[in-house]
Each structure stands twice: as C-alpha cells, then as structure tokens.
Amino acid sequence: MTLNLDKLTANGVARLFGISRRQVQNLAEDGVIPKQGQFNTAHYVWDEVRDAYLRHKLTQVKPKRTTADVTGMAGAELRKLNAEATLAELKAAKLRSEVVEIEYVERCQVRIYANLRARLLAIPSRLTQQLAGKTSRLQIKSIAETEINQALAELVKIAANVAPHETEALDELFDGPR
C-alpha cells in the first residue's frame, strides 16, 4: 500500500510521525500543522505538515549547554580554583612571615612615628645638660649630631627587631614592660 503524500489522512500522518491519530488532530486544531478541507474531505499535504511539525518540535526542544556556556562555567570554576589557591598561598606566606596584614603595618607605623616624635622632642632637654658651658660651634654640632644619631639608631633597632607575630614584643619595645 502506497501513501499519496499530497493527500494524507490523519492516520497516514500519524504513521509517518509515529504518533496517534488524536495527536495529529490536536496539532491541526491548535494550528501547529496545516489541514486542507474539513470533515470527510480533510487531508494533509506531507511537505507542509512535515515542515510545520519539525518547526514545532524544534521550538519545544530545550537547548543544551552550548560551548560558550560550558566554557563560561569552566572559566568560572577555573577562576574559583585560582582564587582558592591564591588564598592558600597567602595563608602559607603569612605563616612563614613573608607577608603581613595591612592593619599590622599601620599599627607599627603609628607607633614608630609616635616614638620618633617623643625621641626628637627629648633631644633639646638632653642637649641642654650636655651643651652647658660649650662655646665651640664644632663641639655643639658634634654633640647635637651624636644625640640625633643615637635617637635614630634606637628607632631603627626597634623597627628591625619586630616580627609580624611578635605583637607583645612590639608593645614592650615601644611602651616598655607592662
């Protein structure tokens, strides 16, 4: 039995698509596939029905992840792994005292500057005792330079002896024992 593809019945279309006759009728009623004529003279033209049905099926298919989506997700996962690795490296470097927190550096700077100010302001009172009775400009200059260099050397010594994990030692060096 040969099918006339220009004049198919609902049963013929159903057999070609592998669906039921009722599904073919519903598709026609919904306007998905074109139907020629009505009632007893109703028929379907294969080329029109096939194209319409394929368009309908293609709109129902959810697109799978595209290469761009997969690449985007892979890129996101790669960025996450890189961030986690960087964080782990940073923590390890911190444990080895290779890096310090910004807050720690800020605290040290504030204390160093406060100590510098205090040492520099103490110089005149120490100099007055040492300069009493001195008249030579060279002696006065030498005593003043020595006093300033001693104050700066103390500050350098304090700053050089502080490790990031030695906060209590830092407090003692700047503020004295508690």
In sequence order, what DSSP letters do the residues of 46-65 get, joined into one string? HHHHHHHHHHHHHHHSPPPP
Confidence of residue 124 (pLDDT cuts 50, 70, 90): confident
pLDDT at 163 over 70: no
Q: Are residues 33 and 68 in the same domain?
A: no
Residue 79 within a domain: yes
Domain of 56 in residue numbering reads as 10-60
Q: Are residues 107 and 170 in the same domain?
A: yes
Arithmetic mean of pLDDT, 166-172:
53
Q: Are residues 122 and 169 in the same domain?
A: yes
Q: Are residues 116 and 133 in the same domain?
A: yes
Q: For the chain, what is the largest distance between any 2 Cα atoms, rounded to a whole number of angstroms?
A: 135
Q: What is the pLDDT of residues 78-110, one digit of tens each?
A: 888 888 888 888 888 888 888 888 898 888 888
Token pair for residue 166? 């030695």
pLDDT at 16 over 60: yes
Question: For the ranges 81-90, 93-102, 116-125, 150-159, which has the lowest average pLDDT?
Answer: 150-159
Q: How far is CA 10 from the centre of its chain?
A: 59
Residue 167 within a domain: yes
131 within 8 A of 143, measured Cβ to Cβ? yes
Q: Are residues 139 and 89 in the same domain?
A: no
Confidence of residue 178 (pLDDT cuts 50, 70, 90): very low
What's the count of helices (H) and strands (E) in the chain, helices before strands? 7, 0
Q: Which residue has the higher pLDDT, 83 or 169?
A: 83
Q: Which residue has the higher pLDDT, 45 or 160?
A: 45
Arithmetic mean of pLDDT, 58-63:
77
